[in-house]
Chains A and B, each alone.
Chain A
Amino acid sequence: AQRVTQPEKLLSVFKGAPVELKCNYSYSGSPELFWYVQYSRQRLQLLLRHISRESIKGFTADLNKGETSFHLKKPFAQEEDSAMYYCALLNTGFQKLVFGTGTRLLVSP
Chain B
Amino acid sequence: DAGITQSPRHKVTETGTPVTLRCHQTENHRYMYWYRQDPGHGLRLIHYSYGVKDTDKGEVSDGYSVSRSKTEDFLLTLESATSSQTSVYFCAIRKANYGYTFGSGTRLTVV
- The one of B41, B45, B101, B105 that contacts A101, using a Cβ cutoff of 8 Å: B41
Q: Is the CB of A101 within 8 A of B48?
A: no
Closest to A90 in B: B98
Q: Is the CB of A43 within 8 A of B42?
A: no
- The one of B31, B42, B103 that contacts A95, using a Cβ cutoff of 8 Å: B31
Q: Is the CB of A99 within 8 A of B44?
A: yes
CA–CA, A44 and B33, complex, Å: 14
What mask results when residues 71 to 109 of chain A are scored 1 for a CB within 8 Å of chain B, else 0? Answer: 000000000000000100010101111111110000000
Q: Is the CB of B98 within 8 A of A43?
A: no
Q: Which residues of B contact A98 (CB under 8 A)?
A: 45
Q: How large is the interface on B (under 10, 10 to 19, 20 to 34, 35 or more residues)?
A: 20 to 34
Q: Which residues of A contact B42 (CB under 8 A)?
A: 6, 86, 99-102
Confirm or deny: B104 has a beta carbon within 8 angstroms of a beta carbon on chain A: yes
CA–CA, A10 and B105, complex, Å: 23
CA–CA, A96 and B55, complex, Å: 12
CA–CA, A32 and B40, complex, Å: 23
CA–CA, A34 and B56, complex, Å: 23
Q: Is the CB of A44 within 8 A of B90?
A: yes
Closest to A98 in B: B45
CA–CA, A94 and B31, complex, Å: 11
Q: Which residues of A contact B33 (CB under 8 A)?
A: 96-97
CB distance from A12 to the nearest CB of B (A): 17
Q: Is the CB of A43 within 8 A of B103?
A: yes
What mask results when residues 90 to 111 of chain B are scored 1 for a CB within 8 Å of chain A, else 0? Answer: 1010100011111111000000
Closest to A41 in B: B105
CA–CA, A43 and B102, complex, Å: 6
Q: Which residues of A contact B99 (CB under 8 A)?
A: 46, 49
Q: Which residues of B contact A49 (CB under 8 A)?
A: 98-99
- A: residues with CB less than 8 A from B are 6, 9, 32, 34, 42-46, 49, 86, 90, 92, 94-102
15 contacts between A and B (CB under 8 A): A6-B42, A32-B98, A42-B104, A43-B90, A46-B99, A46-B100, A46-B101, A49-B98, A49-B99, A95-B48, A97-B45, A97-B100, A98-B45, A99-B35, A99-B43
